[in-house]
Chain A
Amino acid sequence: MMTATWRWWRGILITFGVLAALRFVLPLPFMNEVLIFSIYTIGCNFLLGRVGFISFGQPAYLAIGAYGTAFYLFYFGTNPYLGILVGLAAGVIFAFIVGLLFVRLRSDYFALVNLALAVIVFYMFQKVLAGITKGDNGLWFLTNIASTPILNLSRPAEFFVFVMLLGVAIWAFYKYLDDTVFGACCLATKLNETKLEFLGYSNFRIRLTAFVIANSTTALAGCLYAIYLGFVSPEMTSPARTADPVVVTILGGVGSLLGPIVGTVVYTGLRDVASKFIGNWELFVGIILVFIMMSNSGGLYGSLEKLLNRWKRVNG
């Protein structure tokens, strides 16, 4: 029925509607950044809020996607859409291979190993592969991006429209996931592994799938960054950056669908405002993080509990 469909889409459409409206109020660069960063965060949010895995290594996947796109545009072609596809493909493959190894680990080892991964990837792009990545200087390919029909991605205003559409699609996808058995399984895999196995599900496969989905989304955000900035550098996966998606996830509410967007707006806004006064990046992030964690009386998994109750009701 129309009303059911409307109710399903309501949250997403309203949020993106607000974002579209804000585009005319706030600076365009800010809005573009917010959109891309939100996409970056939703992967982390999904991993933490549904599967219960925290990853300090999101920047690694961001960088893989970004550099995939960058390589294509720098060395091969000029079509940004193809660039995105290449970067995304790289992200999916990388996430799959890494996931095969990582997903079996206990949550604390998982987090640490992902952190190590981010550092390794950083090192790879900065030094080891400096021949093709030009190391710290980064790759510049802004001029390489061709104009494309319908939406010219090389122009920020049209890029914004593209990312908006993409965003709606992505959020709809994650919302859809939530409603499926798969979504419920992800939750269950965190809360009661043994029961899930008894029910005939493979924890490993569920986690791997969730891992690949989440990190491919992150890689996609990397591709978008590459197109938007026309530039990539190893800095995007430097150790200082590993906390970004985690902070935003917590700010926006772990496990909440629209949380990444809210969290990103708040975070990016605060950062831009505060950097005029504090100028000290790490201090700012660190204090926010500790403050949020300490004041989080519902616990990090407070929102998770609500989801658990929903799952219980669904499954009787």
Chain B
Amino acid sequence: MRYLLAVLFMYSSLFAMTNFEVAKKSEDVMSGFKDSTSKMQMTLVNAAGQKKIRTMKMKVLEGEDEDKSLMEFITPADVKGTKFLSYEHVDKDDDQWLYLPALKRVKRIASKNKSGAFMGSEFSYEDLSAFNVKKYNYEEGEATAKNSLYTIVSQPTSKYSGYTKLISFIDAKTFLVQKIEYYDRKKELLKVAVFKDYQHFGDVVRIGQITMSNVQNDKTTILVWSEQKVKTGLRSKDFHKRYLKK
């Protein structure tokens, strides 16, 4: 029996993963889509349960570390045609521009602080940026799985993040994120995001729905992706500033 336990321990040590490795594996599982196009519907639910709906079109180009994205607002009608172009960077601030069709104006955005609310929703700009393990520090040691979920604790490296800690719950088999708890600068639980409806495109996995609940103000935002396509052949030049005005 002692021999058997020793062998089991040896094997489990051999296959044990650190928190960072689980996070990296989770990132890898969601990578490889090269580019994607989709529609997004954002449902804003206030504390009284009243709903407001926003719709957008989205294009994303996957980079080694730095994704590019172009988002166009479809509704509400007064912001129709407004576009948001973002070049994400790991080692410096993102490049971001906003196109305001009523003025025909392309406006540079200062992106240092990404904790601001996105379109009045419970998502912040940093919640919507592509996940990259380099943006976080992870606790040392082995990740532990309970009920088939790894619980990974991480801290954002950016001092401009709106969070002090994230606790991610990752499926131990698929390495897909199921839930993230976000802790604010006062180290109190602020929001909980639940991920579901993962969609498979061959060897590529894309998220289908995220429900973000703010536990401090009882508001919820549900983000649903539809008409998703991957590997459509988009190029870097399809994210040139010229397409803001098109």
- Say whether A associates with B: no
A interface residue numbers (CB < 8 A to B): none
B interface residue numbers (CB < 8 A to A): none
